[in-house]
Chains A and B, each alone.
Chain A
Amino acid sequence: MSIKGKAYLVGAYEHPTRKAEDKSVAQLHAEVAKGALEDAGLTKQDVDGYFCAGDAPGLGPLSMIDYLGLKLRHMESTDTGGSSYLIHVAHAAQAIAAGKCDVALVTLAGRPRSEGSSGTQPRSWGAAVPDGPFEAPYGIVTANSYAMVAMRHMHEYGTTSEQLAWIKVAASHHAQHNPHAMLRDVVTVQDVLDSPMVADPLHRMDCCVVSDGGGALIVARPEIAKQLAGKTRRPLVKLIGAGESPRGQSGGKLDITTSGAAWSGAAAFAEAGVKPADIQYVSIYDSFTITVLVQIEDLGFCGKGEGGRFVADGNLISGTGKLPFNTDGGGLCNNHPANRGGMTKVIEAVRQVRGEAHPKVQVKNCRLALAQGTGGQLATRHGSATLIFERV
């Protein structure tokens, strides 16, 4: 059974805050849920499916469901880090197609900025994690994990720091138009190279922001989506393809320059029946510049190893480049709430397909968009997820 056309994105909301010292995490979840329902023109009583990940406080989804006062017949809390919310959209479509729910709510929220989180701190998943004893002593953190991928990519393919910097430059060109973006200054390749080295070869400007906030999505059955569109006269955002793929260390037979996007992307393209060349806008997870480069290659927008040349010279800038990406400014400049960037990737793709992105970055006649997420750590274990949307 395919999910192609079985579900629509009818609501999307990005919290405007980037620092929420005066709010609780649960409160942020509720605020984004409210925002997404209002965007969709639905009420809480319409929701019968709920999806959240590890950022939601409590045992799986239970505390949030009770806190929000939801009455449900479907719930799920798959957690693959920052890509969870793309997987939630795909699983919501599966649940809708199987008749298990009609309107699914997906929420994400967190306060890493207020709580002093950073990508140079170790993260522990508990003493029973089998890989922990073989990794924690060596100081694996988010930044040096992705940096090892960048270093190996440079070694295998000749990718340069200047090429990686172009990804940040493109994001900054977009962020200047987003009043909510954390970093709105347009930067140059030289600015990126001159920023302090965090983890060789990644500079500070190769890294995403740490921000508080969140976002939510509403996924609905086609009949409901069409009724709502009749009232709002907005274009419909149809999910036409989805893929997910875990990737790890393969028992020590490493190939860290290829991400799970090679498989999740292929699955999503096959289901949608479209090719990379058909896609007019992409949201690509940008925890770091290297994350974007690897995923663009693995999704097939260019050949493996050609990503450096592909992203250079403004090729990702909307209006001038061939592959406009992250037109909200992405995680690199706009927002990376809860240290999990997948939610905002889906939200900006929805804006593009609806024609509701900022006019300066809106892709003309955007009919096909792709959202791509990578959660966990690229160099150790990660979950990749790909969604393809069509405007109807």
Chain B
Amino acid sequence: MNYQDRKIPAPAVNPENKAYFDAAFQGRLLIKKCASCGEFHHYPRAICPHCFSDKTEWRDAKGTGTVYTYSVLRRGVPVPYCIAYVALDEGVSMLTNIVDCDLDAVRIGQKVKVVFKPTDGGPPVPMFTPA
């Protein structure tokens, strides 16, 4: 089954996550790294969820990773879509969709790269397609 575009709800932008979605307008995927403990985390927070330091910094992610898990939702929705967790090369996983490909061919471990898809009245959001 080939990917079809669907109406994507806009994310609720707030002061803590605004930089992330501003970067998305420029086609950049940001992730947070803690200057205190050195760990990445996602979704991004002002205070590190690992060590609770407030010295978290935005970094440009490489935008590449592998499929950690996925599922194609086929019933009860207007358009089937593939939800997934992608493990970024930086070592953290993010919830996303796999797009622009044959959804029946998605596999765990598959290499993917980021693309940005428009939302319904909000900033674009990062999704992934086979690399």
Contacts and interface: CB of A to CB of B under 8 A. Distances in A.
Nearest to A127: B12
B94 interface: yes
Contacts of A249: 43, 93
A151 B12 contact: no
B95 A200 contact: no
A325 B50 CA distance: 38
A122 B68 CA distance: 22
A344 interface: no
Interface band, chain A: 35 or more
B83 A144 contact: yes
Contact of B10 (A119, A134, A137, A254): A137
Given A139-B97, A252-B94, A148 B84 contact: yes
Contacts of A256: 69, 85
A133 B17 contact: yes
A251 B13 contact: no
Interface in B1-55: 6, 8-14, 16-17, 21, 39-43, 45, 48-50
B13 A148 contact: no
Given A133-B13, A252-B40, A138 B96 contact: yes
Interface in A123-157: 127-128, 130-141, 143-144, 147-152, 155
A143 B73 CA distance: 8
B115 interface: no
A239 to B, nearest CB: 34
Given A131-B43, A133-B17, A134-B43, A148 B85 contact: yes
Given A133-B11, A135-B95, A151 B75 contact: no
For chain B, the bracket of interface size reads 35 or more
A139 B73 contact: yes
A199 B73 contact: yes
Contacts of A136: 9, 11-12
B77 interface: yes
B11 A199 contact: no
A120 B70 contact: no
Contact of B39 (A150, A199, A251, A380): A251
B125 interface: yes
B69 A149 contact: yes
Contacts of B72: 199-200
A253 interface: yes
Interface in A249-269: 249-254, 256
Nearest to B94: A252
Interface string B67-89: 01111111111000101110100
Nearest to A126: B12
A139 B81 contact: yes
B12 A132 contact: yes
8 contacts: A133-B21, A133-B43, A136-B11, A148-B71, A151-B108, A196-B74, A196-B75, A251-B42
Interface of B: 6, 8-14, 16-17, 21, 39-43, 45, 48-50, 68-77, 81, 83-85, 87, 91-97, 108-109, 119, 125, 127
Given A120-B77, A252-B40, 14 more contacts: A120-B73, A131-B43, A134-B95, A137-B10, A139-B83, A151-B70, A196-B74, A201-B71, A252-B42, A252-B93, A253-B93, A254-B68, A256-B69, A380-B95
